[in-house]
Amino acid sequence: MTSSHSAHDPHVASGTTPGDNDHLQGGGGPNPPEAPVARPGESLAREAWRRLRHNRAAMTSLILLVLMAVICIAGPWLLPWDLAEVDWENFGTGPTLANQHWLGTDANGRDLLTRTLYGGRVSLSVALVATLVSLVIGVLYGAISGYIGGRTDNLMMRFVDIMYSLPFMFLVILLMVVFGRNIFLIYAAIGAVEWLDMARIVRGQTLSLKRREFIEAAHALGVRDSKIVTRHLIPNSIGPVIIYVTLTVPKVILLESFLSFLGLGVQEPLTSWGVLISEGTSNMQGAPWMLIVPAAFLAVTLFCLNFLGDGLRDALDPRTR
Amino acid sequence: MNRLVSGCMAAALIWSLPLTVHAATLDIGIYGEPASLDAARVTGAVYDNDVLGDLFEGLVTLAPDGDYQPGVATDWSVSDDGLTWTFNLRDDARWSDGKPVTADDFVLAFQRALDPKVASIYANLLYPLKNAAAINRGEANIDTLGVQAEGDHRLHVELHQPTAYLPTLMAHIIASPVPSHLVREYGNDWTRLEHIATNGAFMPRRWVSHDHIETVKNPHFHDADSVTLEGVNYYLVEDLNTGLSRFRSGDLDVMRDFDASRYQWLKDNLGNAVHLHNQLSTYYYALNNREGHPTSDVRVREALNLALRRDIIVEKVLQGAANATSALVPDGVAHYDVQTMPGVDGDITARMNKARALLKDAGYGPEHPLDLRLRFNSRDDHRRIAVAAAAMWKPLGINIEMVNAEANVHYAEIARGDFDIARASWVADFDDASNFLGILASDNTKNYGGYHSDKFDSLLTQAAAQPDPDQRQQLLEQAERQALGDYAMAPIYADAARNLVNPDMTGWEDNAINRHLSRWISLNP
Amino acid sequence: MLSYIAKRLAMAIPTLLIVITASFFLMRVAPGGPFDGERQLPPEIEANLMAAYHLDEPLPMQYLRYMGNLLQGDFGPSFKYKDFSVTDLIAQGFPVSLELGGLAIALALLLGIPMGVMAALKRNTTVDYLLMGTALGGIAVPNFVIAPLMALFFGVMLGWLPVGGWNGGALPNLVLPVVALAIQQIAYIARMMRASMIEVLGSHFIRTARAKGLNERQVIWRHALRPAMLPVLSYLGPAIAGIITGSVVIEQIFGLPGIGRYFVQGALNRDYTLVMGTVVFYGILIVLMNLIVDLLYSLFDPQIRYDD
């Protein structure tokens, strides 16, 4: 399992210098000496895109991911079966070309491919929404904390530290137990767990940025604080944030399937990859395809997301090559 | 780095040491852990019975086929008015610490089970005893309980109304004796392993919670000579798939349940290790009869029952590992004939047409669809049955919202009446039709659907007061027909006991109450 | 240093307070109580039970009672496991989780670091691609998929290893759970080690060392390895947290008597005190682990001082 609240993601840590690790300090630790700062402007984006395009693994992954998303969204409309439709003649039959269940059926006679694609919709939407939630909270929190600085920053980061030490996974499990199996709760709960890292990264960026000339200039010109944060600080931290987002998405997908595996996922007839894998596990002796099919979809997606994440990091932060 | 490696190797050596070979110990996979080794503090689940049944022996005990036979009592008699029973105790019964088992141990056991401070969950099974209910409510003194010791080896039990099944009840673990010398010394802590003494064929030696309970043969057991096992280990296996794997790999000699929907595959792959035996148990959907729920309309309840193809659920989802039924009282209950729900066995097309007509009549149709909430507790088989049922109701234009929750939540919610359709099941406490029909009585806490019929209630009351068994049967059958005609609920199947049993084992007999004392079992090398 | 430790420990107090309060009230507002079950209790029996566990008192009162007991180190009785106190259970379960987690971390470091170094040294060769591809596999396939598959393959089909159970921590019983738990961490550590090794090898002081004519082995073992391990070290905190949460699933799959399983079962059974006990215990554990990792970090990197 991914750690639900890793203070340093391996990739982030490796993307910066070792001294950049601000795991130790709540508020006033040493600032990243030389964080990779994205310069605003189109040239950088174009430069990054050029580098990304030359990364064959990342591009293949990107194409596969788009394909996966398209299949999951459009596939169910094209397939002859419905999500909850039971084929009474084919309970738990293996993959075959004979009966239009190309990847077999589940133990209830429902088409496994159809369910896997529907499950993909859920898993991918959880990934997107939860990442978005964590992104919004984390970026705002981090930028505000870093920009205001001083005692407020100290206090806000203390709070983050406190949150870090919470056994979060346990609270999420408790939440799911308490409020039942509900997809919106999954969005919110996972998003609420994942924003901490984002807040720290953005804060670090902000701290180093705000001493730069153009911010001080804006200050001197009397630009409002809120405008400085939204117009200058956040856009300028976008590079590391994008890197981090690509790392969060697979983590969120894993987290969702982890919860589903423990039986805390979405309600029938809805499904997700985690739910399908959990069902497959209990049928793997005798009906291994029920485990293999959803596991393969999940694994391919996670593979691609990781490759793409690596590629994006290389593209946005050329020093690591 | 080198030090770390050698450290790991040393550790590996140490860990590999406890691997000793167990000779003639029985390894049983149970799917829940007893709450306690104190019979007054367990819930009476199958796994409680498994463990405590081997550790303690009541006045009456169980033969391999599930029949009752003398235990600590050698014989018993009942007074002419049926209100006083006298049990004679054997004089060679011993606790595992060598102390004799006396009538006093039973008196204290029954008193503790009913003591409000002990708060036994199963206390109500002993309510036939005189003053028992009042004591448990805190309205009477514990000493007034209708049970007295006459010397060390005779016990009198007084009842408040004749109860023919008392010997059966005395074989239940709630009626196990307690070592009064230890209870007086240690209170509720008497079950701690350093204190405990047991009077059954085995005594506990180790208990690693969430892992296993290890017991060894009790040398003081009165029939110790015939016990061939050196010990029994009970392994907690919550997940049926894990249980299956552990059974297949030889870790377990017995696994106390398996996934019904894998029945065909299991039969093909494990052959005669797969045991299936009818059990007095009914799996049903409670339908909410209360005002404000669409299911309060009898037409809706009838339509739901008509469209439910029980044979297909049993054949497809459960792969034949149970018997479809539309009745509440299952086949095999003594002195009772199986009833059927009217209309549900006809041709499916006709049934569906009738169901459609009924729903239309009740005001539901394409522009006014029927939305129902189906609750079930999180388990694979319950989920699969719910999915199948929803698919069967779908052609009627019924949209089922499925809500699953863990057992504690599920039962709390359905007891509050927060459902339209809810999964439930009933396993007989004792072999009598009234034990099943009681769950539809207006005042019963198990009447989840809130079914209320004056006629049904009065038939049950008449039956309880009817001494003649044939007339009683008539009244009970009439009551069930009343409830089935009202479509009070939706029975689905009569459940079966499912076990995986090592074929090299002797002494295991499938039986209707699914209880198997390890003292009868031998493992062939 | 000491004052830093004291400060960190003081900071743990609000953390624990939040953990305790949040989980206490979360548990209590959860639908279903510890005594709800298939067997509907007659009202008088339910009343007896509620009184026996003080559940009939007002909630704030229960909270204060719990906090009071906690201050005296008493986690209370388990509602479900009546022959054990929560302290008993944690004392029984923690060594299991510790052994599992400790071995998994050790395995992850023992395999992950050499894998990463090797890949870095053979950068952009087949060896590198092979190692990193494997590592990516470890990240992409979650442990709850790998674990049952390994159990099926090595346990049921080949019969080499037990498919579950603890057996007092015997080595054969440990292999599958430890490996399943470690795989992902191995992968993370290998990737991280590779990246930081590449970076260190490209830095000025390594170039200087090479220029001074030191041979490649000395350069790598004497100079490059230590700084390259810093990110791995700082990853240990999250890795431990990840292993703790991962062990919840692994303990569930293999039926091991660790506290992760106590927690999940406790939450599902509404065993209030057991859930609270395990959560509080984990809270303390995570605080301590983070502290230890940070102190370790300072040992490796003398540039960091705790004097702010």
Q: What ipTM score was computed for the predicted complex, to two decimals?
A: 0.79
| B contacts of A287 (beta carbons < 8 Å) | 265
Closest CA relative to residue C32, chosen from B375, A174, B413: B413
Residue B148 resides in a domain: yes
Cβ distance B57 to B199 under 8 Å? yes
User: What are the distances in angstroms from CA B68 to CA B64, B73, B109, B125?
Assistant: 9, 12, 20, 17
Do residues B199 and B113 share a domain?
Answer: yes
- Judge: C36–B411 Cβ closer than 8 Å, yes or no: yes
C148 contacts chain B (CB < 8 A): yes
Q: Would you state the structure tokens that stand for residue C277, as one six-digit string?
A: 């006990």
- Judge: C155–B41 Cβ closer than 8 Å, yes or no: no
Residue B249 resides in a domain: no
Do residues B137 and B214 share a domain?
Answer: yes
Q: Given a cut of 60, is residue B22 above it in pLDDT? A: no
Question: The domain spanning residue C239 has which CATH number?
Answer: 1.10.3720.10
The pLDDT confidence band at residue B72, using thresholds 50, 70 and 90, is very high
Residue of chain C whose Cα is closest to the Cα of A280? C145
Determine phi and psi for A29, rounding to 5 degrees.
-80, 180
| Predicted TM-score (pTM) of this structure | 0.80
Q: Would you state the structure tokens that stand for residue B264, as one six-digit string?
A: 């065909």
Residue C213 resides in a domain: yes
Structural domains of chain C, count:
1
Q: Is A295 exposed, middle or buried (0-12, 13-18, 19+ CB in 10 A)?
A: buried
Q: What is the pLDDT of residues A82-106, one digit of tens each?
A: 888 888 888 878 787 777 888 888 8
Mean pLDDT of B47-69: 92
- What angle (nearest 5°) sits at the alpha carbon of residue A179, between those of residues A174 and A184? 105
Please state, in angstroms and rounded to a whole number, the distance separating the CA atoms of residues B191 and B188.
7
Do residues B404 and B317 share a domain?
Answer: yes
Q: Which of A72-81, A306-315, B281-290 has the highest mean pLDDT?
A: B281-290
Closest CA relative to residue B237, chosen from B27, B32, B44, B382: B32
Do residues B477 and B516 share a domain?
Answer: no
Mean pLDDT of A124-151: 86
Please state, in angstroms and rounded to a whole number, the distance separating the CA atoms of residues A244 and A204.
13
Q: Would you state the structure tokens that stand for residue A122, as one six-digit string?
A: 């859920």
User: What are the distances in angstroms from CA B153 to CA B103, B218, B223?
Assistant: 5, 21, 18
Note down the domain range covering B469: 278-497
Mean pLDDT of B90-101: 94
Average pLDDT, chain B: 88
Do residues B206 and B320 share a domain?
Answer: no
In this complex, the residue of C241, C246, C279 whose CB is nearest that of residue A5 is: C241
Q: Would you state the structure tokens that stand for residue A101, as one six-digit string?
A: 């269940």
Q: What is the pLDDT of residues A242-272, one digit of tens each?
A: 777 877 888 888 888 778 777 777 788 888 8
Residue of chain B whose Cα is closest to the Cα of C164? B246
- Judge: C45–B245 Cβ closer than 8 Å, yes or no: no
Which helix H or strand E contains A164, and what residues bound it? helix A150-165
Other beta carbons within 10 angstroms of residue B382's beta carbon come to: 18
Q: What is the number of alpha carbons within 13 Å of residue B342 lying toward its C-beta?
A: 12
The length of chain B, given as a count of residues: 525
Looking at residue B159, the DSSP 8-state letter turns out to be B
> What sign does the CA torsion over B445, B449, B454, B456 have?
negative
What 3-state DSSP class applies to B44? coil
Mean pLDDT of B379-400: 90
Please state, in angstroms and rounded to a whole number, the distance separating the CA atoms of residues C265 and C258.
11
Question: The domain spanning residue B401 has which CATH number?
Answer: 3.10.105.10
Share of chain B above pLDDT 70, in %: 95
Comparing B9-13, B57-61, B510-514, the range with the smallest average pLDDT is B9-13
The pLDDT confidence band at residue C302, using thresholds 50, 70 and 90, is low
Residue C135 resides in a domain: yes
The per-residue pLDDT for B488 is: 94
Which residues sit opposite B235 in a β-bridge? B29, B212
Comparing A268-272, C110-114, C154-158, C257-261, the range with the smallest average pLDDT is C154-158
Choose the mutation target among A4, A164, A170, A258 for the interface with C, i.e. most C CBs under 10 Å.
A170
Average pLDDT, chain A: 75
Question: The domain spanning residue B49 has which CATH number?
Answer: 3.40.190.10
A154 contacts chain C (CB < 8 A): no
Closest CA relative to residue A182, chosen from B400, C268, B401: B401
Mean pLDDT of B216-235: 93
Q: Given a cut of 80, is residue B431 above it in pLDDT? A: no
Mean pLDDT of B264-287: 91
Residue B65 resides in a domain: yes
Q: Would you state the structure tokens that stand for residue B232, as one six-digit string?
A: 């029994």
Do residues B479 and B510 share a domain?
Answer: no
- Judge: B413–C31 Cβ closer than 8 Å, yes or no: yes
Comparing A13-17, B32-36, B446-450, C147-151, the range with the smallest average pLDDT is A13-17
Q: What is the number of alpha carbons within 13 Å of residue A304 lying toward its C-beta?
A: 18
Residue B16 resides in a domain: no
Give the orientation angle of helix A238-261 with respect to helix A183-209, to 10 degrees: 150
- Pairing, β B73-78 against β B84-89: antiparallel
| C contacts of A13 (beta carbons < 8 Å) | 192, 196, 231, 234-235
Residue C24 resides in a domain: no
Cβ distance A236 to A37 under 8 Å? yes
Please state, in angstroms and rounded to a whole number, the distance separating the CA atoms of residues B519 and B229.
7
Taking the CA atoms of residue C156, residue C162, residue C163 and residue C169 in that order, the dihedral angle to the nearest 10 degrees is -170
Q: What is the pLDDT of residues A7-24, one digit of tens each?
A: 333 333 333 333 333 333
The DSSP result for B421-452, as a single string, is EEEEEEE-SSS-HHHHHGGGSTT-TT-TT---
Q: Given a cut of 80, is residue B266 above it in pLDDT? A: yes
CA distance C308 to chain B (A): 34
Q: Which of B90-104, C72-86, C130-144 has the highest mean pLDDT?
A: B90-104
What 3-state DSSP class applies to B121? coil
Q: Would you state the structure tokens that stand for residue C259, as one six-digit string?
A: 């506290």
What 3-state DSSP class applies to A136? helix
Note down the domain range covering C248: 86-300
Choose the mutation target among A11, A14, A197 for the interface with C, i.e. most C CBs under 10 Å.
A14
Residue C271 resides in a domain: yes
Which helix H or strand E contains A211, and what residues bound it? none
The length of chain A, given as a count of residues: 321
Residue C36 resides in a domain: no
- Give the helix, strand, coil percentages of chain B, each rounded to 5: 40, 20, 40
What are the residues whose beta carbons fall under 8 Å from the beta carbon of B421, sequence distance 6 or more? B285, B286, B287, B288, B295, B304, B372, B373, B374, B375, B400, B490
Choose the mutation target among C234, C269, C307 for the interface with A, i.e. most A CBs under 10 Å.
C234
Q: Given a cut of 80, is residue A315 above it in pLDDT? A: no
Structural domains of chain B, count:
2
| A contacts of B378 (beta carbons < 8 Å) | 263
Choose the mutation target among A93, A105, A108 for the interface with B, i.e. most B CBs under 10 Å.
A108
The per-residue pLDDT for A317 is: 64
| A contacts of C238 (beta carbons < 8 Å) | 3, 5-9
Do residues B394 and B473 share a domain?
Answer: yes
- Judge: B119–C45 Cβ closer than 8 Å, yes or no: yes
Q: What is the number of alpha carbons within 13 Å of residue C204 lying toward its C-beta?
A: 0
- Judge: A10–C188 Cβ closer than 8 Å, yes or no: yes
Taking the CA atoms of residue B107, residue B111, residue B114 and residue B118 in that order, the dihedral angle to the nearest 10 degrees is -130
Q: Given a cut of 50, is residue A26 above it in pLDDT? A: no
Q: Given a cut of 80, is residue B515 above it in pLDDT? A: yes
Q: Would you state the structure tokens that stand for residue C258, as one six-digit string?
A: 């660790």
Instruction: Give contacts of C 12-31 with A, CB under 8 A.
Output: 12, 14-15, 18-19, 22-23, 26-27, 29-31
Residue of chain A whose Cα is closest to the Cα of B377? A263
B298 contacts chain A (CB < 8 A): no
The pLDDT confidence band at residue B508, using thresholds 50, 70 and 90, is very high
Q: Is B355 exposed, middle or buried (0-12, 13-18, 19+ CB in 10 A)?
A: buried
The per-residue pLDDT for A8 is: 36
What 3-state DSSP class applies to B234? strand
The pLDDT confidence band at residue B116, using thresholds 50, 70 and 90, is confident
Instruction: Give contacts of A 5-44 with C, CB under 8 A.
Output: 5-11, 13-15, 17-19, 21, 23-26, 28-29
- Pairing, β B398-405 against β B370-377: parallel
A4 contacts chain C (CB < 8 A): yes
Please state, in angstroms and rounded to a whole number, the distance separating the CA atoms of residues C197 and B315.
61
Taking the CA atoms of residue C193, residue C125, residue A15 and residue C143 in that order, the dihedral angle to the nearest 10 degrees is -60
Do residues B512 and B366 share a domain?
Answer: no
Q: Given a cut of 60, is residue A224 above it in pLDDT? A: yes
Neighbouring chains of A at 3+ CB pairs under 8 Å are B, C
Residue C26 resides in a domain: no
Q: What is the pLDDT of residues A174-192, one digit of tens each?
A: 777 777 667 777 777 777 7
The per-residue pLDDT for A10 is: 36
Other beta carbons within 10 angstroms of residue B428's beta carbon come to: 19
The per-residue pLDDT for C300 is: 67
- Please give the distance of CA B181 from its chain centroid, rounded to a whole number: 31
Q: What is the pLDDT of residues B323-338, one digit of tens each?
A: 999 999 998 888 899 9
The per-residue pLDDT for A174 is: 77
Residue C269 resides in a domain: yes
Determine phi and psi for C230, rounding to 5 degrees.
-55, -50
Q: Given a cut of 70, is residue C51 above it in pLDDT? A: yes
Residue of chain B whose Cα is closest to the Cα of A89? B316
Q: A119-138 b/e with 16+ CB inside 10 Å = b?
A: bbbbbbbbbebbbebbbebb
Long-range contacts of B203-206 (CB under 8 A, 24+ apart): B203/B55, B203/B96, B204/B37, B204/B55, B205/B231
Choose the mutation target among C28, C49, C56, C82 for the interface with B, i.e. most B CBs under 10 Å.
C82
Do residues B410 and B507 share a domain?
Answer: no
Residue B423 resides in a domain: yes
Q: Given a cut of 70, is residue B299 above it in pLDDT? A: yes
The length of chain C, given as a count of residues: 308
Residue C187 resides in a domain: yes
Closest CA relative to residue A90, chosen from A102, A79, A76, A78: A102
Do residues B482 and B396 share a domain?
Answer: yes
* Locus of tokens 């102390």: B99
Give the orientation angle of helix A289-316 with respect to helix A112-148, to 10 degrees: 30
| A contacts of C139 (beta carbons < 8 Å) | 250, 302, 306
Q: Would you state the structure tokens that stand for residue A244, as one six-digit string?
A: 């981090």
Residue B450 resides in a domain: yes
Residue of chain A whose Cα is closest to the Cα of B266? A286
Do residues B219 and B330 share a domain?
Answer: no
The per-residue pLDDT for B157 is: 95
Please state, in angstroms and rounded to a whole number, the distance separating the CA atoms of residues B112 and B93.
21
The per-residue pLDDT for C50 is: 81
Residue B317 resides in a domain: yes
Query: Order of strands across the sheet with B84-89?
Result: B73-78, B84-89, B154-158, B147-149
In this complex, the residue of B265, B317, B387 whose CB is nearest that of residue A268 is: B387
What 3-state DSSP class applies to C68? helix
Cβ distance B86 to B159 under 8 Å? no
Q: Given a cut of 70, is residue C40 above it in pLDDT? A: no
Residue B266 resides in a domain: no
- Judge: A86–B378 Cβ closer than 8 Å, yes or no: no
Other beta carbons within 10 angstroms of residue C2's beta carbon come to: 7
The per-residue pLDDT for B197 is: 95
Closest CA relative to residue C150, chosen from C246, C253, C260: C253
Do residues B201 and B328 share a domain?
Answer: no
CA distance A130 to chain B (A): 23
Which is more confidently placed, A40 or A47? A47
The pLDDT confidence band at residue B20, using thresholds 50, 70 and 90, is very low
